[in-house]
Structures are given as C-alpha cells and as structure tokens.
C-alpha cells in the first residue's frame, strides 16, 4: 500500500477533533508529525485515506482506536528530576512547613511515563520516610504512557537526571528478561496510583492535594482552555496548597485566585 497523503481539509478536521477531545491546539507545523504517527494506523487497519480514518475515530464507533489516536498525538517528553529547582523547592520550603505525621498528598496531573511521579516519591521518601504517610496520584490522557508508569520499569538509558545514589537507593536492577532495565522499588510504588484523566473535561472525585504539578502541558492549550483547566485544578488544591507549572509557562492573565510565590510556583491562600 502506498503512503497516504493528507489534504489540508483533512488535517483541519484532525486539529478540531484533538482540540475537542483534549484541548490541544495542534499547530499547522505538526502536519508531518500527524501523518507520520497516524499513517501507521491507516496501514494497520487497511484504510486508504486519512478521511476514512477520521470518520472512524470521529464517529466514536471504535473508542479504542480513538484512544490510540489520542495516545499518538500527545507528546510525552520527560525524564527524572526534570526542572530540578521545583523538587528543591518541595524539599526545602513546602515539606518543612507541613505538620509532622500528617498525610501529604501530591497530584502529578500530566504524569506521562511516570518519571515525575517517581522523582516526587524519592523526595518524599527522603524527607518523610519511605514508610511515611504520603501518597501521589499520577494522571494523563494517554493510556499508553500510564501503562508504562504503572509498571515502573525503565531502560538504563532513561536515567537522565537521576542521581546515582537514588538509582542505588530506590531502584532495583533488572535481571534475566529485564536485564538492562531498572525497576522502581515496590516500597516507593505502593505510595503511588495512576489513572486516566482528561484535564479538558470535568474532573473525577480524586480528593484534594497539598501540591499539584501541572508542568509542560499548558503549552499545548490556547488561553481559553488554560483558564478552564487551571480553574478545575485549583478546585483540587487544599487551602495553602501549591500549583507548580513548567519553566516556560505562566498563569499571568489565566488565574487570579492563586498567588505567585516565585516564577512557575503559585499558592492558594489558606
């Protein structure tokens, strides 16, 4: 089967669909990316055109294929201790203020393949104890990356940003079929849970959190979507809780309920 081409009209339909589903504004420059990723699905399904594939996923008659499309079109670049200053702030400023022994709850709202969740877990284990009273929720719109996060198994070439002492302290070396990989220690993983959450829709009942990480996802939203997403997120913060966004993101003009603590770190008044 020859490589299918996409028309401008078909690409515009996919842009509208991914915006409708996930709130993601897919730039015109992403056409090549879309063709590369979805073209494989056309071949796998024996479809002749992107128009046919669009009708399949837009109709809703194949929810699994619709989810596959979302998985393929959401970008998930991440690594351990990415934007390390945020974890330093958690360790040095947020945790010392927290009453000893009280539950401490964190939500990683765009957790991708789980490196952010397990980075937070390592910091909390250090400061509150590996058997302490703390928990982390990791969520993403992509079921594919959540599967990777739940397994907690990574190839050794994915240790970018992970201090050697943490690799030894909180990870297990893979053996036999998992040689060349490492596993996040069960003692850390038992503090974590993962679930699919679409930030562009009403949020499920997930409780309230002392800290929410919402990093490097708002760059894909327009301002109207940002306001809606942040408003939903703020409702899940405990009074005095912190919202942390990515280094290239800001809530200026997006939300005035939260008060800036320093660039990319905001706090809900107690």
Query: Which residues participate in catalysis according to the annotation?
Result: 37, 140
How far apart, in whole angstroms, are the C-alpha atoms of residue 184 and residue 118? 8
DSSP string, 193-251: EEEE--TTS---S---EEEEEE-S-GGGS-HHHHHHHHHHHHTTEEEEEEEEE-TT---
3-state secondary structure 71-91: HHHCCCCCCCCCCCHHHHHHH
Residues with Cβ within 8 Å of 95's Cβ and at least 6 positions away in sequence, in order, are 104, 123, 124, 127, 128
Residues with Cβ within 8 Å of 224's Cβ and at least 6 positions away in sequence, in order, are none
């Amino acid at each position: 089967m020859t490589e299918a081409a996409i028309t401008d009209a078909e690409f515009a339909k996919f842009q509208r669909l991914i915006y409708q589903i996930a709130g993601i504004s897919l730039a015109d420059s992403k056409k090549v990316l879309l063709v590369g990723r979805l073209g494989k699905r056309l071949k796998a399904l024996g479809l002749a055109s992107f128009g046919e594939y669009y009708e399949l996923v837009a109709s809703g008659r194949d929810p699994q294929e619709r989810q596959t499309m979302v998985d393929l079109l959401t970008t998930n670049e991440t690594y351990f201790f990415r934007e390390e200053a945020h974890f330093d702030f958690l360790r040095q400023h947020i945790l010392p203020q927290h009453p000893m022994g009280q539950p401490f709850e964190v939500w990683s709202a765009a957790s991708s393949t789980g490196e952010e969740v397990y980075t937070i877990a390592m910091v909390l284990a250090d400061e509150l104890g590996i058997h302490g009273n703390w928990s982390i929720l990791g969520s993403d719109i992509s079921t594919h990356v959540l599967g990777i996060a739940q397994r907690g198994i990574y190839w050794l070439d994915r240790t970018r940003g992970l201090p050697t002492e943490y690799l030894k302290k909180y990870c297990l070396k893979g053996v036999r079929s998992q040689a060349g990989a490492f596993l996040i220690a069960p003692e850390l993983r038992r503090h974590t849970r993962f679930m699919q959450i679409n930030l562009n829709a009403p949020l499920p009942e997930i409780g309230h959190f002392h800290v929410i990480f919402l990093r490097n996802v708002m760059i894909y939203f327009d301002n109207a979507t940002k306001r809606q997403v942040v408003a939903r997120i703020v409702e899940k913060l405990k009074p005095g809780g912190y919202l942390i966004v990515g280094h290239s993101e800001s809530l200026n003009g997006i939300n005035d309920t939260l008060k800036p603590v320093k660039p990319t770190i905001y706090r809900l008044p107690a």
